[in-house]
Amino acid sequence: MLPDTYYHGKRILITGGLGFVGSNLAIRLVQSGAEVTIVDSMIPNHGGNLRNIEKIETAVRVNYSDIRDHHSLKYLIRGQEIVFSLAGQVSHIDSMQDPFNDLEINCTSQLSLLENIRKVNPEAKVVFASTRQIYGRPQYLPVDEKHPLHPVDVNGINKISGEYYYKLYNDVYGIRTVSLRLTNSYGPRQDIRNRNLGFVGIFIRQAITGETIRVFGDGLQCRDFNYIDDVVDAFLQAGCDDACVGNSYNLGDHRHYSLIEFLKCLQQFVPLCYEVVPFPSEKKAIDIGDFYSSYELFHSVTGWEPKIALPDGLSQTVRFFQNNLHYYE
């Protein structure tokens, strides 16, 4: 069944729904006729932004609570049919500076969510947003799901633990769970303010505001990218297709780009200047070198594949932020 038809009338909870991925997912679900509840704590310096849901604000229920609050979670998941677990501490640098905060949000709270689902709503299905960072520095490319997990930072360790809890609750309690390991996702509504996040948002903001972009290393390190509409499609597919239950899947793209190639692509849509500079030590310590992943497994199970090429996605992203910069600075 097409995901958009499947979600009509479904009761959906999105944790982290005021952030980048969560708000784009909420917009698509509302357009599909789903009943959407968002839970988000709007912690400062995370990606939550009320502007993100401006066009659906009267069509969604927003609950401003923290997923670390075990008791409000119990209330929020009652009656929900699908839970998209997207609330997260997303900065790798911050996970090294405040590891217990990352542990609470990315690991302990995931266990708490699962315990509540087990006790009050075991029929609910859960899709968890994991990350490619759990693989660490690749031993081979493209990285598939058989690749060893050797995270290079606290965030990667906590995300693995989160994933393992989802798998365990599926295997032991029969709760239907799926984890998607996101690679660099980009697009409208992403957090471009936070300097401790990945390079994509930073490069886009610096290009649009006319700052000189600083590329660390030699700029030849490779990455793959998914435009947000493709990421949302993947979440919708994972939520509606029970064939993928009980597993973790990479997202990814057909092709990869060096950071310099990424900038050259961005330059087609906004004038920019950049300089190549040595890595700051705290970033070098957790850098993963070249990375791109294989999404073949998820494709074979669900048919999902990315449709938006980087130039098209960047063109739409630049246009969005040029028109809305005020709300995202």
Can you give the binding site for ligand NAD, defined by CB under 6 A?
15-16, 18-22, 40-43, 46-48, 66-68, 86-90, 105, 129, 131, 182, 184-185, 191
Give least dist CB 43 to ligand NAD, A.
5
Give least dist CB 106 to ligand NAD, A.
7
Please choose, from the candidates 280, 134, 164, 271, the residue with its C-alpha nearest in 3D space to the C-alpha of residue 210: 271
Residues 6 or more apart in contact with residue 288 via CB below 8 angstroms:
133, 135, 136, 137, 138, 152
- Choose between 106 and 206: whose C-beta lies nearer to ligand NAD: 106
- Choose between 196 and 267: whose C-beta lies nearer to ligand NAD: 196
- Choose between 3 and 88: whose C-beta lies nearer to ligand NAD: 88
Helix, strand, coil % over all residues of the chain, rounded to 5: 45, 15, 40
- Choose between 3 and 19: whose C-beta lies nearer to ligand NAD: 19
Compute the distance between CA of residue 151 and CA of residue 136 in angstroms, rounded to an integer: 4
Q: Which amino acid is at 7?
A: Y
Compute the distance between CA of residue 39 and CA of residue 10 in angstroms, rounded to an integer: 17
Give least dist CB 31 to ligand NAD, A.
19
Please choose, from the candidates 172, 143, 320, the residue with its C-alpha nearest in 3D space to the C-alpha of residue 246: 172
- Choose between 16 and 252: whose C-beta lies nearer to ligand NAD: 16
Paired tokens of 80: 């929900």
Give least dist CB 2 to ligand NAD, A.
24
- Choose between 1 and 196: whose C-beta lies nearer to ligand NAD: 196
- Choose between 107 and 215: whose C-beta lies nearer to ligand NAD: 107
Please choose, from the candidates 304, 134, 274, 255, the residue with its C-alpha nearest in 3D space to the C-alpha of residue 212: 274
Give least dist CB 25 to ligand NAD, A.
9
Give least dist CB 189 to ligand NAD, A.
8
Give least dist CB 41 to ligand NAD, A.
4
Cβ proximity of 178 and 124 under 8 Å? no
Residues 6 or more apart in contact with residue 285 via CB below 8 angstroms:
152
Backbone dihedral angles phi then psi of residue 236, each to the nearest 5 degrees = -65, -40
Paired tokens of 281: 């030590």
